[in-house]
Amino acid sequence: CPRTTRRGRPSPRPLCPKFLHTNSTSHTWPFSAIAELIDNAYDPDVNASHFWIDKTVIQGHDCLILRDNGNGLTHESMHKMLSFGYSDKTTLKGKEPIGIYGNGFKSGSMRLGSDAIVFSKSRNARCVGLLSQTYLEKIKAEQIIVPIVCFEGGNNNNHILYMLDQ
Ligand X SMILES: Nc1ncnc2c1ncn2[C@@H]1O[C@H](COP(=O)(O)OP(=O)(O)OP(=O)(O)O)[C@@H](O)[C@H]1O
d(CA 19, CA 50): 31
Answer whether 161's CB lies under 8 Å from 145's CB. no
Q: Which among 4-12, 16-24, 102-110, 153-161 is the span making contact with ligand X, rule CB under 6 A?
A: 102-110
Pairing of the two strands 159-164 and 148-152: antiparallel
Q: Cα–chain-centroid distance for residue 152?
A: 19
Angle between helices 104-112 and 30-42 (to 10 degrees): 140
Strand order in the sheet with 115-121: 115-121, 125-132, 148-152, 159-164
The verdict on 46 binding ligand X (CB under 6 A) reads: yes
Answer whether 33's CB lies under 8 Å from 107's CB. yes
Sketch the per residue contact string, 107 through 146, with ligand X: x for CB under 6 A, - otherwise: ----------------------------------------
Total binding residues toward ligand X, as defined by CB under 6 A = 22
Q: How far is the CB of 40 from ligand X (least distance, A)?
A: 3
Q: How far is the CB of 67 from ligand X (least distance, A)?
A: 9
Nearest residue (CB) to ligand X, 116 versus 145:
116
Instruction: Read off the amino acid at residue 35.
Output: A
Kindly tell me which residue out of 31, 52, 101, 119 binds ligand X, with binding defined by CB under 6 A: 101
d(CA 114, CA 100): 24
Kindly tell me which residue out of 23, 32, 87, 166 binds ligand X, with binding defined by CB under 6 A: 87
Kindly tell me which residue out of 35, 102, 126, 166 binds ligand X, with binding defined by CB under 6 A: 102
Query: For Mg ion, which residue has the nearest CB?
Result: 104
Contacts to ligand X by CB under 6 A: 36, 40-41, 45-46, 68, 70, 72-73, 77, 80-81, 87, 89, 99-106
